[in-house]
Amino acid sequence: ASDTRLYQSNDKSPLQIFVRAKKKINDIYGEIEEYVHETTTFINALHAEAEIVDKAERELFESYVYKVAAIREVLQRDHMKVAFFGRTSNGKSSVINAMLREKILPSGIGHTTNCFCQVEGNDGGEAYLMTEGSAEKLNVVNIKQLANALCQEKLCESSLVRIFWPRERCSLLRDDVVFVDSPGVDVSANLDDWIDNHCLNADVFVLVLNAESTMTRAEKQFFHTVSQKLSKPNIFILNNRWDASANEPECQESVKSQHTERCIDFLTKELKVSNEKEAAERVFFVSARETLQARIEEAKGNPPHMGAIAEGFQIRYFEFQDFERKFEECISQSAVKTKFQQHSSRGKSVSGDMRSMLDNIYERITIFRNLKQDQKNLLTDRIQGTETQMMQVTRDMKQKIHTMVEEVEEKVSKALNE
C-alpha cells in the first residue's frame, strides 16, 4: 500500500520535470546515434570504393561517433544532486533520512562519519556501499552494519563513500536525486578540496543549522567559498531541531523572526545569491528527527503524529513538506538548465558540423557523377568510331579476298585448258 502511495504522489512531483526532460533528451540522442552509425557506414564505403572521402575526413566523422557516445554516457549518469552542510550534530544525516523516509544514514553521537557520504539509487534490489578507489561492493543489510562499515574504514575527510540504495524503496532516489552528506564544516580546513571534489556539480545546497544556536563563522565561511566558485548557487537553510522551541513558547516567535532575519540577510546581503523574496522562501524551521519518526510511523500504517516529539508537531511537519516541495521545484529546474542545456547545445553543434560535412561530400558526389557521365560519353563515341573502322576494314578485306579468289579461279581454269 505504501508503494502505491509513493507512485501516486510521485507523478505530480516537480521532479518529473527533470525525469521527463531526461527521457526526451536521451531519446533524441538515441536517434542521433543511430543516424551517426548509418552515416559512418556510408562514409566508409565512399572512402573504400571511390575515394571521394579522404582519410582525414573519415577520421573526423568517426570522432562524432565517439562524441555522441560520450554525451550519451554522461546523460545516462546525469542526476540531480543535493549537498548538505552544517556543523556536526546539527542534524544533516537526520534531514537526509527524513527525506528518504527511512533511517539509511547512521546518525547520532558515536556515529559521526568523517567523510562524505553519497546516497544514490540502485536498480538492483540490493543495498551496498563502495569506498573511493575500490571497486569492491560491500553489502549492507541494515543501518547498524552500514554504521560499522563507515567507522571501520580508515577514511580521509574529503574522500567519498557511495551508498547504493534500492530505488524502489524511495521515490526521490527513483527520480534520480543523489544526496551528499558532509563531515561537519567545523571539522575541516580543506574547504577548497571539498568544494572542488564534491560541490561543483551540486544543483542545490542545504545548510542545516541548529535552531538552538546562531550561525557560526565556519558555516558562513563555507558558503562564502562556495559562492565564489559557483555563480549563484541555490541555497536552502533549515533551522533544525525546532521542536526544542516548544519548551519555551513565550520566546518562540521572537527567536524565529531573529533567525529568519539573519538567514535572509546572509543569503541576500552577504552572499548576494538571492533577492529578498526568494530568500524568504528558502528559510525553514523544522525538526528532522520528528519528521523521520512520523514517516516511519506512516509506513507502519499509523498516523504521523505518533512520531511527534513536542507540542506543535503539525506545523513543523507541514513546514518540512513545504521545504521538500520548494526543494524539488528548485533542484529539478536547476538540473535541467545546467545539465541538459549543455548537452543540447553540444548536440546542436555536433549535428551542425555533421551536416556541413555531408553537404560538402554530397557536392563532391554530384561532381564525380557528372565527370563519370562525361567519361562514359567519350568512351561511347570512341567505340562507335572503332566499329565503323572495323566495318570498313572488313568490307575492304572481303573485296580483296573476292578479287583474289576470282583471280585464282581464272588462273586455275586457264591452266586446265592449256
Contacts to ligand GDP by CB under 6 A: 86, 88-94, 107-108, 112, 240-241, 243, 287-290, 309
DSSP states of 56-100 as a string? Answer: HHHHHHHHHHHHHHHHHHHHHH--EEEEEE-STTSSHHHHHHHHH
CB nearer to ligand GDP: give 162 or 241. Answer: 241
How near is the Cβ of 190 to ligand GDP at its closest, in Å? 18
| Half-sphere exposure in the Cβ direction for 171 (13 Å, CA) | 20
Rounded to whole angstroms, the Cα distance separating 323 from 367 reads: 65
Sequence-distant (6+) residues with CB within 8 A of 184 are 86, 87, 88, 89, 90, 112
- Whole-angstrom CA distances from 161 to 131, 149, 224, 265 are 5, 10, 26, 34
CB nearer to ligand GDP: give 241 or 295. Answer: 241
Sign of the C-alpha dihedral, residues 327, 333, 338, 343?
A: positive
CB nearer to ligand GDP: give 108 or 385. Answer: 108
Q: Cα-flanking dihedrals φ and ψ of residue 326, to 5°?
A: -65, -35
How near is the Cβ of 66 to ligand GDP at its closest, in Å? 42
How near is the Cβ of 184 to ligand GDP at its closest, in Å? 6
How near is the Cβ of 353 to ligand GDP at its closest, in Å? 48
CB nearer to ligand GDP: give 25 or 308. Answer: 308
Are 2 and 304 in contact by the 8 Å Cβ rule? The answer is no
Amino acid at 175: D
DSSP 113: -
Rounded to whole angstroms, the Cα distance separating 230 from 263 reads: 20
How near is the Cβ of 95 to ligand GDP at its closest, in Å? 7
What is residue 165's three-state secondary structure? Answer: strand
At 190, list the grid cell: 580543506
Are 139 and 96 in contact by the 8 Å Cβ rule? The answer is no
Q: Cα-flanking dihedrals φ and ψ of residue 184, to 5°?
A: -55, 140
CB nearer to ligand GDP: give 195 or 208. Answer: 208
Q: What is the chain's length? A: 418
CB nearer to ligand GDP: give 26 or 112. Answer: 112
How near is the Cβ of 244 to ligand GDP at its closest, in Å? 6
CB nearer to ligand GDP: give 266 or 313. Answer: 313
How near is the Cβ of 199 to ligand GDP at its closest, in Å? 17
CB nearer to ligand GDP: give 227 or 240. Answer: 240
How near is the Cβ of 207 to ligand GDP at its closest, in Å? 11
Residue ranges of alpha helices (H) inside 183-250 are 191-194, 217-229
How near is the Cβ of 224 to ligand GDP at its closest, in Å? 20
CB nearer to ligand GDP: give 108 or 249. Answer: 108
What is residue 134's three-state secondary structure? Answer: coil
